[in-house]
Amino acid sequence: MKQTRRNFIKTAGVASLLVPLSLPAIAKIRQTRLNSFVVPALDRGIRKGNNVSFKLAIQAGKTSFFNGVNTPTLGLNQSYLGPVLRAKRGDTVSINVSNHINEVTTVHWHGMTLPANMDGGPHQAIPPNKTWTSRFQIRQEAGTLWYHSHAMHKTGPQVYHGLAGMFILDDEGSDKLGLPNEYGVDDIPCTIQDRRFNQDGSFSYMSMMPDRMMGMMGSIVLVNGVVTPTLVAKKTLLRLRLHNGSNARTYNLAFSDGRPFHVIASDCGFLHKPFQTNQVRLAVAERVEILVDVSDRKEVLLKSLASSAGGMMGMMPMMQMNNKALNIMTIDARQAKQSARKVPAVLRNSTLNLNPKAATATRQFELEMGMMGRGGMGGMMGGMMNRMDNGGRDGMFRINGKSMDINRIDFQVKANSTEIWEISNASPMAHPFHVHNVQFRILDRNGKRPHPSESGLKDVVLVHGNERVRIIMKFPEYSDAKVPYMYHCHILEHEDQGMMGQFVVV
Ligand code: C2O
Ligand code: CU
Ligand code: CU
């Protein structure tokens, strides 16, 4: 059966009758949580020279996040999430994706430079029982990328239920920087997601009024599919690849004892040199790699601090969900062995040449939601209420006044050209803006230089209310006049409701 958006909303309406787990129930369940840290399976594919082939089977299953409770989930080669794929620059990867679930899906390679028809966006839909093969050469620098469903109007629910995984890229120099690099030992992938559960153990999706507007948030944090797990550290210097795989939440990551750590990489590559801090913000779809020293051999908690960043005015209680403090995971370093690694003084410069003087076009993007900017909060609420029943597809979420239309190409860019994009946010809520096929650099935020932790190559940038962010990027050599790439807000419910557009490279 073809499930339309309207049907989906109806289903979600029924689901909302299932009461979300009450506090005592959560407390009880917390005691029985299965909380050992899980290192995701590493999949290096089958290699013949520089050709590497992978197989991903999209499937439905059941996952136990709490003892004795089975949650219906989606996964790739497993019941929830997928393996960590790994390849290196120069490889030609060929990824065979088969769809064994009852709805159309896609798998998009987030952060990857590749031909448009290999991108896995809404135009590469995989119907049930069908297979799609994506084949492309890795031409970019080492980085912590990821993959996820990008099905038209269904990205939010499909990712929420588990259709995502990490994709690590290496290059010739990335292993010679002296960084911790033993997968699962001192180089640890961490996909962070927040979830809300129904009383029957199922995931609660779009069951509360603010979900549609704020995006889907929950107060239970999973790391690699485990509720606030404990990582038993094997080494005293850890490299954590922190990936925000949530639908809507921005995290303000810090350790419970305020200990400093070093940020070494942003979304798509290394920083020029490690940046020491004790807090880092991670918006939806962003990644940072950090080095943390646990040679004091204590137990320390990675937390998300309460903050207004990414929140909405911070005045109305129902809008404060994005602001609250959360525990992410514990690191138990009591048994950690002395690491032979040190924090390097310098990493390296990117070879991607992004020079503002080379820019041949400047484009403006205005992010809008509801009646924001006109009717203020009241108008927005009115707009939300009116549009509750149709998912807001008549225009609650827009870029430059338009909601996504899969049949409309918004503009063309030239292959190999450098462009500057100016993204401004006319709403009071922060939106993580993402562009397919490129790695960009942030030039400035309201005219000010970006924070050092986001000085490296990026593919997502959080744009706060009343902020104007300028990014620079060079479009690769791939061109295709017909098949577009996407740009969108990465709060998945905003994307599904229209805060997305398409461009072709010619
Ligand atoms: Cu992470 Cu358009 O996607
Ligand atoms: Cu993407
Ligand atoms: Cu948004």
Shortest-distance ligand to the CA of residue 148: 1
- CB atoms within 5 A of ion ligand 2 belong to 110, 436
Give the Å distance between the CA of 436 and the centre of ligand 2: 5
Phi, psi of 71 (to 5 degrees): -110, 125
Atom of ligand 1 nearest to the CA of 146: 1
What is the Cα Rg of the chain in Å?
A: 21
- For the stretch 250-281, pLDDT in tens is 999 999 999 999 999 999 999 999 999 999 99
Helix (H) or strand (E) holding 278: none
Instruction: Give dist(CA 220, CA 506) in Å, integer.
Output: 45
Please name the residue whose Cα sits nearest to atom 1 of ligand 1. Answer: 110
Between the CA of 149 and the centroid of ligand 1 the distance, in Å, is 8
What pLDDT, on the 0 to 100 scale, is given for residue 209? 86
Q: Which pLDDT tens digit goes with each residue over 435-493?
A: 999 999 999 999 999 999 999 999 999 999 999 999 999 999 999 999 999 999 999 99
Distance CA 228, CA 326 (A): 9
The pLDDT value recorded for residue 372 is 42
Phi/psi of residue 252, nearest 5 degrees: -115, 90
The CATH H-level superfamily of 187-332 is: Cupredoxins -  blue copper proteins (2.60.40.420)
Helix boundaries (H) for 465-506: 492-496
Ligand 1 geometric centre to CA of 466 (Å): 24
| Cα–Cα nearest to 269, from 426, 112, 406, 412 | 112
How far CA 477 is from CA of 217, 227, 411, 504, in Å, comes to 38, 43, 17, 12
Residue of 125, 126, 163, 179 whose CA lies nearest to 346: 179
- The gap between the terminal CA atoms of the chain, to the nearest Å, is 37
Q: How remote is the CA of residue 32 from the centroid of ligand 2, in Å?
A: 36
Partners of 364 in the β-ladder? 422
* Per-residue pLDDT, 75: 98
Q: Residue 141: CB partners within 8 Å, gap ≥ 6?
A: 89, 169, 171, 174, 268, 269, 270, 350, 351, 352, 439, 457
Closest CA to 270 of 439, 113, 420, 490: 439
Among the bound ligands, name the one nearest to the CA of residue 244: 1
**From ligand 2's centre to the CA of 323, what distance in Å?**
26
Q: Do domains 42-171 and 356-505 have the same CATH topology?
A: yes
Q: Which of 230, 225, 287, 216 is nearest to 253 (CA)?
A: 287
Q: How far apart are CA 18 and CA 448, in angstroms?
A: 47
Q: Cβ neighbours of residue 210 under 8 Å, at least 6 residues apart?
A: 318, 319, 321
Pick the atom of ligand 1 nearest to 111's CA: 1
Ligand 1 binding pocket, CB closer than 6 Å: 108, 110, 148, 150, 285, 434, 436, 486, 488, 490
- Res 340: pLDDT: 97
Q: Quote the ligand 3 centre to 240 CA distance (angstroms).
A: 27
Give the pLDDT of residue 370. 83
So what's the pLDDT on residue 373? Answer: 40
User: Options 3.40.50.300, 2.60.40.420, 3.55.10.10, 2.60.40.1190; which CATH number does 42-171 get?
Assistant: 2.60.40.420
Angstrom CA distances, 458 to 87, 88, 230, 471, stand at 19, 18, 29, 9
> Which residues, at least 6 apart from 206, have a Cβ–Cβ distance to it below 8 Å?
9, 12, 15, 16, 156, 157, 212, 216, 493
Which CATH code, of 3.40.50.300, 2.60.40.1730, 3.40.640.10, 2.60.40.420, is assigned to 356-505? 2.60.40.420
394 neighbors 403 (Cβ within 8 angstroms):
yes
**Could you tell me the two tokens for 117?**
């028809």
**Atom number of ligand 1 nearest to Cα 459:** 1
Residue 286: nearest ligand to its CA?
Answer: 1
Query: What is the number of the ligand closest to the CA of 367?
Result: 3
Residue type, position 129, single letter: N
Average pLDDT along the chain, 506 residues, taken 10 residues at a time? 36 42 54 80 98 98 94 98 98 98 98 98 98 98 98 98 98 96 98 96 94 95 97 98 98 98 98 97 98 98 79 44 85 98 96 94 95 44 44 73 97 98 94 98 97 96 96 98 98 98 98
Beta bridge partners of 93: 52, 136
Q: Which atom of ligand 1 is nearest to the CA of 285?
A: 1
Closest ligand to the CA of 109: 2
- The ligand 1 atom nearest the CA atom of 110: 1
Separation of 239 CA from ligand 1 center, angstroms?
25
C-alpha of residue 272 to centroid of ligand 1, in Å: 26
Ligand 3 centroid vs 81 CA: distance in angstroms? Answer: 23
| Nearest atom, ligand 1, residue 148 CA | 1
Domain spans, the chain = 42-171, 187-332, 356-505
Which atom of ligand 1 is found nearest the CA of 486? 2
Strands 237-244 and 187-195: parallel
* Atom 3 of ligand 1, residue of closest alpha carbon: 110
**Dist. CA 505–CA 431, nearest whole Å:** 25
Q: For 364, left (φ over 0), alpha (ψ -120 to 50), or beta?
A: beta
